[in-house]
Structure 1
Amino acid sequence: MNDPEQTYDVGILGWWYGKNYGSILTYYGLNRAIEELGFRTLMVHEPLGYNGYRVLWPDDILSVEFARRVGYHYTTQMHFSELPALNARAGTFIVGSDQLWNPLIGRVNDDLFLDFVSPKNRRVAYATSFGNRGTKKFKPDFIQKHSANLQKFNAISVREGYAVDTAREVFGVEATQVVDPVFLLPARAYDTLADKAGVDMSGDYLAVFYLDPTPEKRAVALALADRLGLQRIVVIPNPDGGRPLSEELFADPRFEILAEDAPENFLHAYRKSSYVVTDSFHGTAFATIFGKPFSSIYNTHRGIDRFKNLLDWLGFGETRRLTENDTAETLANNPNIALTLDYTGAMARIAEGRARSRAWLQAALTSEAGTTAAIAPPPQAAGAQRPGRFTASNAAWEITPGAEGEDLTVAPGGAVRGNQVWCDLPARPAPGSACRLVLDWKLRTTAPALNLHLRNPATGDFQVIGKVAVEGRVDQARRDTVDFIMPSGEFSQLMLGAVHFTGPRGGALVTGLALEEIARSEMRKAPAKPKPATHAEIALKLALDDNDRFVKAHAQSGRSITSARARLMFHAHAIEKGLSRLDFRGGFGKISVPALAREMNNWLDAGRDRQDAFLRTAASVMQAYFDRHRRIDVDVSAFHALFGAPALELIAQAGPAEGGVLTAAAYREPVPDVNPDNRFLDVVYGRRSIRDFTAAPVADADLARAVQLAMQAPSVCNRQAGRVHVFSDPFRIQAAIDIQGGFGGYNTPPRLLLVTADLNAFLFASERNQAFVDGGLFMMGLLLGLQHVGLGGCPLNTAMNTERENALRKLLDIPESEVFISFVAAGHYDPAILTPRSRRLDVEEVMRRHDRPATTGEAAAPSQTEAVK
C-alpha cells in the first residue's frame, strides 16, 4: 500500500522485499516491534539507478504478496535521486538487519547508509551486519565515504559482537550489539502467522531447510533422519528459485516437498517438526524461537561467523554444528543429536536480549536528533600500515625509514583532523606515574605549535600529553621534552596528528625517542596556554597557504597541459594585439613569434592533441600574421622558418574563425539562441540572489548556455582560467553546503556550481592574484548568464579556512591547482518569492574622478556631486 501524501513516524530500509524467508521475517519482526512501540512505519522499497544489481522487482513475488497480507505501508520503487523527498514523509529512518554494510555484496549502496536523510531527521541502524569477521574487504574509498555517512547516525546497533569493533576501529562510530530482529517478537507472534498457513502438517518428521542444497547435504539429512528414527523428511525449498533444484535433488519417496512457498507455510512446517536441519542463519534462529532440537550446517557462502555468533550467544557453542562431510558413522557417534534439547539457558538469553534490544530501539527512536554515533578518533583505513616503527591511519602519511630515523611526510591535502601516525613507546610506565618524554627530531610545519598524544592501540583512543611550540625552528635538529602523568588504560603509543603539519611537505624527521619515569617533584611546569591567534596571524596563515598553492602550481607549469595551453595563448594573444593596432608595424613580434613557434613545435613533438582549441587558435593567429605581411609585402620568412613542418601544416589548414582579429562590432563566435527579448538592463537589474527553488528539473543545456555567456568575460591574455564544476547529486550538494556553512535554513538546491580558476593558466609571479580577478569576472558573467536563461542563482562564498577547503576538495574531487572563487546554488524559482532588497550605494559613493585641472598649479578637487556630472 502506498499513499504518497501519507506521513509516517519511521521509514524502514532493508531487504524486506527479498524472496527469502530470512529477509521477509527479519523485517516483519522489526516492523512489528517498532509499531508495538507506538510508531507508524513506512517500508521503503529498493531504489534503482545505482548499478546492475539493483533491479525492478515484480509486484507479485512472495515478499510483496506477504507485505500486502500483513498490511505494510510501503513505497513503490523509485530512482535513488528521488529518495530525499521521503524526508517530508518520515521523521526517522532506520536501516535494518542483514548484511546491508557488506561491501562484497553488489546491492549494498549509499541508500543503506542513509545518505539521503536530511540533517533535521533521525538516522538509526538496527542489527545491521558487516558480514563475516575481518576488515580487508573494506577498501579506502568505501571507508572514506561511509565513515562520513555512519558518523551522522543518531544511534547504531549491530547484529554480531565483532561488528562493534569493526564499527569503532574502521568507521569511527559507537555501536551496540542487539538481537536479530526476528528475536524482537515472542514465539506467539509467529504462531499467529503459522496459524494462517495454507498447508496442514502433522506427525513426526525431520524438517530440512537448505538455502544451498547439495548431494552431500541430502546425504546428511538421510543419515540424520535414520539416526533420529524419523522415517518422514519434509523439505522446505528455498523460495528464491530453489524449488526446481529441491524437486530434482530430493526426488525420493523418503522426501516430501512442502507444497507452496509462503512465510506462513515455512513457520508452520518448523513449528510442527520433530527436528530441524538447516544451512540457513535465520533457519537456525527460528528453530530456537520455536524451541526445536536442531542441527546447523554452517553456510560458507553466506557467512560462517554469523552462525558462530548466534550459537555462542544462545549458549550452544559448537554442539549444534554438522558438516557436509558427516556420515552415518559420525552422526551415530555425535552425542548432541537427540529429539530433546535443553532450552532453559537459551530461552532466558532470548528473553533478556529481546527486552534489552527493544529498550535500545525505543531509546534510539526517541533520542534527541542532535546526538550522533560518531566517536574519536576518526576512522582508520583498514590495511594502511607502513613499514618501519611508525604506522599511519591512512595514506595521508608517507613513512620513509632512513639512516637517521623515520621521515614522516603529509601528502598534499592531508593536513586535516583524523590523519594520524604513531609508534610504540620505548617503555610502559604504570598508570598514574610521572613521566618525561624526550623527542629528537626536525619539524616541517607552518603551524605555530603542535600537540603530542598517547594512543591506546586496542581502542584507538588518544589523549593529549603536551604541546610543542615550533618557534620558527623549522627543519632544524631540536630536542623537545614533555612531562605528564601516565593515564589509566593501555596507552602504549606516541601519536602525531597531520593537522599540525601544514605547509609544503609538512612532517617531521624523528631521530630519537625516550620515555622515563620521574618523581612528581621533578615535573616541569607546563607552559602557559598560548593566546588565541589574532586576526592578523590567521590572515597571514591563510595567505601563506594560498601562496603555497600558487608556488606549487607555478613549479609544475612546465609539465601540465593547462600551462602549455596558457603559454600558447599568451604568445598568440600578444600577436593578436599587434595585428589589431591602428598604427600597424610590419615585422613586429620579435619576441612573441619565436616563442609561439617554440610552444607549437614542442606541443606537436610531444604528440599532444592536434585538435586542441588553444593550438588551433595559435595556428589561426599565425595564418593571419603571415597573410597580413604577404599583403603588405613585408618579408617575415625568418619567422616562417622557425615553425616545424607539422606546425606549418596546421597554420596552412587554419581558418580565420579561430584567431587573429575582427572588427569591434562583430561577434567572435555564434551567439547562442537564448531569450532574445531579454534586454541587458532586464538581466542586470533583474538578477537577485535566489535561495528558494522550485522542484522543476534544471536542464543541462540551460546551464551550458549560461556558462557560454560567462565565457565572454575577459581574462588575462585570453588564458581563460575559469572553470565550473556542476553537481546534481543531492547528497554531495548538501554535504558541500554543510561544510560551506552559508545556506542554512534553506532546502537543498537542485544544482550546485563551484566556480574555480586554474592556477596553471598563470605564468608569472606577479600574477599571484590574477586567478581571483579573472575568476571574479567569470563569476559575474555566470550569474548574469543564469539570469538570462531563466534560472535563479545565489553565490555562496568560499572564504574559509584551509581545513574546510581541503574537506571540500576531497568531497567534490577538485584539483589542487584550482582556487575556489564561489559556489552558486542554482535552479528554477517563482518570481513572486521574496528576496532581500540589498540596496546599492549611491553612484557618488563609488565613482571617484581624479581629473587634474587644465591650468598649472593645483585647483580644489571637485565635489563628489560635481564628479558625476
Structure 2
Amino acid sequence: MRKKKYQDNKTNITNTMGTRKKEDIVQPEEYPDCGLDKLDDCDTLIASLWYGLNYGSILSAYALYKVVEKLGRKPVLLNKPKELWTTHYDNPDGIAGKLIHRYCNVAKREIEDKELKKCDMFLAGPDVLWNYDLCGKETGDFFFGGCVAPEITKISCASSFGKVQGNSAEQVELLKVGKQLSSFQGVSVRNGYDAGVCQRQFQCEAEIILDPVFLCEMSAYEELIKNAHFDAKEPYIFTYIEHGNEQIKKYIEAGMQIKNLESRNYIDINRFPESSKELGLDVTFHVMADDWLCSIWNSDYVVTDSYYGVCFAILFHKPFSVLVPSDFKRKNEFRELLSWFELEERMVPCDEKTDLRDYFYLYRKEIRYARADRKLQKLQDESMRWLEEHIAK
C-alpha cells in the first residue's frame, strides 16, 4: 500500500482541557523523579483496578489519582487484594505496575498498614470494579469499602457494575453490598444503567458523572506522552479491539484503503492469543500504557470497541468509529456516552447482517469538535462540582 508522506505538524490537539501541538511533546532520555509523598502523609485511599492489565483501567486510575490531588488531597492507590485473580497481576515492573508505581503512591498489600493511619477517606474508583463476576466473587465487599473502618468517609467516583446485567451475586452478597452502599457519603456512577442498579437493587440514589479520564488535566496526559517510547514515522489508523470478528476486520481493512493508511492494531492484553485470532490482523505486542496513549495521540483516525478507546479519541479530537456487535451487552453504554456529545453517528453495528458500506463514509467525515467541547465543558463543570462537594478538603 502506498503511504502518504508524513507531516509532523499535521495534528494539533485542541480542546477545553488544554492546547498542545504534538511536536511540543519531547521525549526525555530517562523518566523524571515524580516527587511522590511518603505513605504516612497520605489521607485518601483509592480502590481501583489499576493492576488489571487493561489500558483503560490503568489510565482511569491514574486520572482519578491526579484529580484527587488537584482537589487538595494526598491519595494512595490500594494494591490488588491477594484473593483477587492470580499473582500474574502483581508484577510492579509489568505493563500496569511500571506506570502506576512511577507516578502514584501505592499501598502495600495489607490495608491495615500503619503508614495509612492518617487516611480518613475511601474512594471506590472508576471502571467495572463493582462487577460481581469479575471482582466480587473473590473479594466480597472490598470495593464497596468493606476493607476500611466504619468511621472512614466513603465515596464512589464513576464506579460501574459493568456489562453483566444485574450481576450473578447471591442474595447474601447483595445484602452485604447494600449495607456498605448505605454507609457511603456520596455515590456516583458513570452511566444510567449503573444508576438504575443502585436504585433497583440497593435503594441507593447515585449521581451520574464523567469518568475521571475526562476530568484529568491534559498536562497529566502530556507527562505520560512525553515519556513514551513511540516510533511511528508515517500516519496511521489506530485500532483498539477487545472482541474482534470478521466484520470488524473488514471495516478496518476498508478504512486502510479509503484513507490510504496502514493501521496500528492493539488488542485485549488479558486475552492476547484469543483476541489476536478473533481480529485476524497483525497486532502490536504488549506495550506500556503511556505508549498506547501516545499512539492514540499521534493517530489520524481511531477505530475501537472499547469504552476508554472512545473516551481518549474524544479527548484528543480524533475522528473515530465505535464498532459494536449486536450481541455486545455494553452497546447501550456506548450509546449513552456518545449522546452526551451528539456523536451517536459514530457507532457502527458489526454483526453479520450489517452492510458495512453504509458506514464507510465515517472515514471521510471529520468531527467538528467545537460543539462537543462545549458539551464536555458543561459536563466537566457539573462533575467537578460534585467531586469538590464530596472530596475536596
TM-score range, shorter chain: 0.7 to 0.9
What's the Cα RMSD here?
A: 3.0
Q: 2:287 aligns with which of 258, 261, 265?
A: 261
**Within 5 A, what are the aligned runs for 1:184-583?**
184-226=215-257, 228-240=258-270, 242=272, 246=276, 257-258=283-284, 261-298=287-324, 303-325=330-352, 330-331=356-357, 334-366=360-392
Judge conservation of contact 2:254–2:360 (CA < 8 Å) in 1: no
Judge conservation of contact 1:42–1:74 (CA < 8 Å) in 2: yes
AA aligned opposite 2:175: Q
Residues 225 and 350 (structure 1), Cα distance of their counterparts in 2 relative to 1, 3 Å cut: same
Residues 99 and 244 (structure 1), Cα distance of their counterparts in 2 relative to 1, 3 Å cut: closer
Judge conservation of contact 2:303–2:321 (CA < 8 Å) in 1: yes
Q: Deviations over 1:206-250 (max 9, x none)?
A: 111112334442222102322x32231111243335279649965
CA drift at 1:338: 2.0
Find the counterpart in structure 2 of residue 45 from structure 1.
79
AA aligned opposite 2:196: D
Q: 1:75 aligns with which of 107, 115, 131?
A: 107
Judge conservation of contact 2:52–2:89 (CA < 8 Å) in 1: no
Distance in structure 2 (CA, Å) of the matches to 1:241 and 1:323: 20
Residues 107 and 212 (structure 1), Cα distance of their counterparts in 2 relative to 1, 3 Å cut: farther
Please, which runs of 5 or more residues in structure 2 have no aligned partner?
1-34
Find the counterpart in structure 2 of residue 469 from structure 1.
none
Q: Secondary structure at the match of 2:162?
A: coil
Residues 101 and 333 (structure 1), Cα distance of their counterparts in 2 relative to 1, 3 Å cut: closer
Residues 86 and 353 (structure 1), Cα distance of their counterparts in 2 relative to 1, 3 Å cut: farther
Find the counterpart in structure 2 of residue 832 from structure 1.
none
What is the number of equivalent residue pairs in this alignment? 356
Q: Deviations over 1:151-173 (max 9, x none)?
A: 00111100012322321232122
Judge conservation of contact 1:53–1:107 (CA < 8 Å) in 2: no
Find the counterpart in structure 2 of residue 434 from structure 1.
none
Residues 110 and 54 (structure 1), Cα distance of their counterparts in 2 relative to 1, 3 Å cut: farther
Judge conservation of contact 1:8–1:91 (CA < 8 Å) in 2: no
Find the counterpart in structure 2 of residue 100 from structure 1.
129
Residues 208 and 136 (structure 1), Cα distance of their counterparts in 2 relative to 1, 3 Å cut: closer
Find the counterpart in structure 1 of residue 43 from structure 2.
9
Judge conservation of contact 1:18–1:24 (CA < 8 Å) in 2: yes
Q: Deviations over 1:734-771 (max 9, x none)?
A: xxxxxxxxxxxxxxxxxxxxxxxxxxxxxxxxxxxxxx
CA drift at 1:293: 0.7
Judge conservation of contact 2:40–2:116 (CA < 8 Å) in 1: no
Structure with bigger RCO (C-alpha 8 Å, 6+ apart)? 2
Find the counterpart in structure 2 of residue 676 from structure 1.
none
**Within 5 A, what are the aligned runs for 1:26-37?**
26-37=60-71
Residues 76 and 247 (structure 1), Cα distance of their counterparts in 2 relative to 1, 3 Å cut: farther
AA aligned opposite 1:25: L
Q: 1:19 aligns with which of 36, 53, 61?
A: 53
CA drift at 1:147: 0.7
Distance in structure 1 (CA, Å) of the matches to 2:39 and 2:323: 47
**Within 5 A, what are the aligned runs for 1:826-845?**
none
AA aligned opposite 1:320: M
Q: Secondary structure at the match of 2:147?
A: coil
Distance in structure 2 (CA, Å) of the matches to 1:52 and 1:320: 33
CA drift at 1:358: 1.8
Q: Deviations over 1:803-833 (max 9, x none)?
A: xxxxxxxxxxxxxxxxxxxxxxxxxxxxxxx
Distance in structure 2 (CA, Å) of the matches to 1:136 and 1:12: 23
Residues 199 and 337 (structure 1), Cα distance of their counterparts in 2 relative to 1, 3 Å cut: closer
Distance in structure 1 (CA, Å) of the matches to 2:61 and 2:73: 15
Residues 351 and 201 (structure 1), Cα distance of their counterparts in 2 relative to 1, 3 Å cut: farther
Residues 117 and 76 (structure 1), Cα distance of their counterparts in 2 relative to 1, 3 Å cut: closer
Find the counterpart in structure 2 of residue 170 from structure 1.
201
1:111 aligned onto 2:111:
no
Find the counterpart in structure 1 of residue 95 from structure 2.
62
Q: Secondary structure at the match of 2:269?
A: coil
Aligned identity (percent) is 24
AA aligned opposite 1:12: I
AA aligned opposite 1:88: K
1:128 aligned onto 2:159:
yes
Distance in structure 2 (CA, Å) of the matches to 1:74 and 1:190: 19
Distance in structure 2 (CA, Å) of the matches to 1:353 and 1:155: 18
| Superposition TM-score, scaled by structure 2 size | 0.80
CA drift at 1:88: 1.9
Distance in structure 1 (CA, Å) of the matches to 2:48 and 2:152: 18
Residues 4 and 36 (structure 1), Cα distance of their counterparts in 2 relative to 1, 3 Å cut: closer
Q: Secondary structure at the match of 1:144?
A: helix
Distance in structure 1 (CA, Å) of the matches to 2:128 and 2:359: 36
Judge conservation of contact 1:295–1:322 (CA < 8 Å) in 2: no
| Superposition TM-score, scaled by structure 1 size | 0.38
Q: Secondary structure at the match of 2:43?
A: strand
Judge conservation of contact 2:71–2:391 (CA < 8 Å) in 1: no
Judge conservation of contact 1:123–1:152 (CA < 8 Å) in 2: yes
CA drift at 1:87: 6.3
Judge conservation of contact 2:248–2:279 (CA < 8 Å) in 1: no
Distance in structure 2 (CA, Å) of the matches to 1:38 and 1:186: 15
CA drift at 1:134: 4.6
Larger Cα Rg: Structure 1 or Structure 2?
Answer: 1
Judge conservation of contact 1:331–1:337 (CA < 8 Å) in 2: no
Residues 83 and 211 (structure 1), Cα distance of their counterparts in 2 relative to 1, 3 Å cut: farther
Residues 74 and 333 (structure 1), Cα distance of their counterparts in 2 relative to 1, 3 Å cut: closer
In proportion to residue count, which structure has more helix? 2
Distance in structure 2 (CA, Å) of the matches to 1:114 and 1:330: 45
Distance in structure 2 (CA, Å) of the matches to 1:30 and 1:73: 13
Q: Deviations over 1:603-629 (max 9, x none)?
A: xxxxxxxxxxxxxxxxxxxxxxxxxxx
Q: Deviations over 1:276-295 (max 9, x none)?
A: 11111111111111111111
Q: Deviations over 1:622-667 (max 9, x none)?
A: xxxxxxxxxxxxxxxxxxxxxxxxxxxxxxxxxxxxxxxxxxxxxx
Q: Secondary structure at the match of 2:231?
A: coil
Q: Secondary structure at the match of 1:207?
A: strand
Judge conservation of contact 2:51–2:89 (CA < 8 Å) in 1: no
CA drift at 1:46: 1.4
Judge conservation of contact 2:127–2:159 (CA < 8 Å) in 1: yes
